[in-house]
Amino acid sequence: MRYAMAVDTKKCVGCSDCVVACQTENDVPIGYCRDWVVEVVDGTYPQLEIEIRSERCNQCDNPPCVRCCPTGASHIVEGGVVMVKPNRCIGCGACIASCPYDARYPHPKGYVDKCTFCIHRVRQGMQPACVAVCPTKCMYFGDLDDPNSDVSKVLKKRKHKTLIPEAGTKPQLYFLI
């Protein structure tokens, strides 16, 4: 089993509903976020191109954050999802420095927090909050090992990319281009 997510950059309008849904679902403290929206503008007016991406932890196959964690608080659960055990985390910040995507942040309570692919919802057969709430239905989630999952089907059909694959992290957040 390998959970992954795909975001359609052609459909995303950057409304930030995914960000708010995540903050509500996961009780993210005020002023912090586990996911965010990036807008890339290329060219000069009037020849402009735009790409909008809803980004979060890439749930890497080769996660540097898990590797550098001195206590084993950062660990991998089913489907390759990277999680943090708050009562093992000492808040040293090594994982935050190790992430090329800056996807982790120090929770005000002291431990490090991050996107979990809403594994608590996925375990109950639901979609992650950001995927479920997206008004343009631009996000796809599922198991890459299952050829019939939403994410497998869309990745087969569409051209896609990952972010900074050259960092050797084997990211599992895909962007349809």
**Binding residues for other proteins, per CB under 8 A?**
14, 16, 19, 31-33, 35-44, 52, 64, 67-73, 86-94, 96-102, 104-106, 109-112, 163-164, 166-168
Q: Is the peptide bond before 46 cis (omega within 30 degrees of 0)?
A: yes
Secondary structure element (H or E) that encloses residue 158, with its range? none
| CB distance 10 to 29 below 8 Å | no
| Of 73 and 81, CB closest to other proteins | 73
Beta strand 36-44 pairing with 112-113: unpaired
- Of 101 and 150, nearer to other proteins (C-beta) is 101
Q: Is 142 helix (H, G, I), strand (E, B) or coil?
A: strand
- 3-state SS, residue 15: coil
Which residue, 70 or 120, is less far from other proteins as judged by CB?
A: 70
C-alpha span between 7 and 90 (Å, rounded): 33
Joined tokens for residue 13: 């309008």
* Smallest separation (angstroms) from other proteins to the CB of 112: 8
Q: For residue 72, count other CB atoms closer than 10 A to its CB.
A: 10
CB closer to other proteins out of 31 and 147: 31
Find the shortest distance in angstroms from Cβ 154 to other proteins.
Answer: 23
To the nearest whole angstrom, how small is the minimum distance from the Cβ of residue 39 to other proteins? 5
- Shortest distance, position 113 Cβ to other proteins, whole Å: 9
Q: How far is the CB of 149 from other proteins (least distance, A)?
A: 27
- Tokens at residue 41, please? 């503008």
Which of 131, 144 has the CB closer to other proteins? 131
